[in-house]
Amino acid sequence: MNTNSEENLKLVVRYCGAEWGNRKFDICIDGDKLISEDNTDKWNQSNFKDIEYSIPNSMIKGKENIRVKFQPIPGNTAGAVYLIRLMRANTFQ
């Protein structure tokens, strides 16, 4: 994914809210774990859920591109991903 050499970014991922089975996985950026996620029976709704993950600047500083990987935890499956994008993090909380 192209960062445009920017910092203060977030990862936006769209999941299906009606997942079943063991859906535990790590989200990694260039091989480093950003976060562990567990979508097992999380929403139980037949609609999409957009989830935002803050990316530490240390994971993207000086990079024009990053590789995002969804790695299942042993015995599990990564949740289905329907959209993924990088966005500027909101500086106003």
The reported pLDDT for the residue numbered 93 is: 45
CATH code, residues 9-88 = 2.60.120.260
CA 54 to chain centre: 9
Tokens of 54: 């803050």
Whether pTM exceeds 0.95: no
The arithmetic mean of pLDDT across residues 44-54, rounded, is: 89
Maximum CA extent, the chain: 40
The reported pLDDT for the residue numbered 91 is: 53
Q: Domain ranges in the chain?
A: 9-88
The H or E element that residue 56 is part of is none
